[in-house]
Structure 1
Amino acid sequence: MNDPKIEYVIATHSKLAIGLLSTIEFIAGKQKNITCFTAYVDHCLDFENKIDDYISNSKADYIIITTDIFGGSVNNHLLELTKSDARIHLICGVNLPLILSLIVNVKGKEIDNEIKISVSEAQKGIIYCNALVNQNGSNELDEF
Structure 2
Amino acid sequence: MSQFIIATHSYLADGYKHSINFFNTEVKNIHYINAYTKEKNNFVEQLEKLLNEFEDEQVIILTDLPGGSVNKESANLIKQYNCNVISGINLSLVLELVLSSDEVLTDEKIRAAVEQARSQIVFMNDWLKGDDL
**Same fold, TM-score > 0.5, yes or no:** yes
Q: Distance in 1 between matches of 2:70 and 2:47?
A: 10
Aligned 8 A contact 1:69 1:75 in 2: yes
Is 1:29 the equivalent of 2:30? no
Q: 2:59 aligns with which of 51, 58, 63?
A: 63
Instruction: Confirm or deny that 1:14 pairs with 2:10.
Output: yes
Q: Secondary structure at the match of 2:99?
A: helix
The answer to whether the 8 A contact 2:30-2:98 is kept is: no
| Offset from partner CA, 1:22-76 (integer Å, 9 cap, x none) | 0111022332110000001154621111111111122552001100001211100
2:119 partner amino acid: K
Alignment correspondent of 1:133: 128
User: Could you state the TM-score of these two structures normalised by the residue count of structure 1?
Assistant: 0.82
- State the TM-score, normalized to the length of structure 2: 0.88
Structure 1 CA distance for aligned equivalents of residues 30 and 104 of structure 2: 19
Identity of aligned residues (%): 31
Paired residue for 1:111, among 102, 106, 111? 106
Asked if the contact 2:90/2:117 (under 8 Å) is kept, the reply is yes
Distance 1:36 1:109, change over 3 A: closer
Label 1:43 to 1:63 Cα distance change in 2 as closer, same or farther (>3 A): farther
Residues 110 and 15 (structure 1), Cα distance of their counterparts in 2 relative to 1, 3 Å cut: closer
Matched residues, number: 133
User: CA offset at residue 131 of structure 1?
Assistant: 0.6
Work out which of the two has the higher radius of gyration on C-alpha atoms and give 1 or 2. 1
Q: CA deviation at 1:105?
A: 3.5
Inter-partner Cα distance in structure 2 for 1:110 and 1:24: 18
Give the unaligned 5+ runs of structure 1. Answer: none
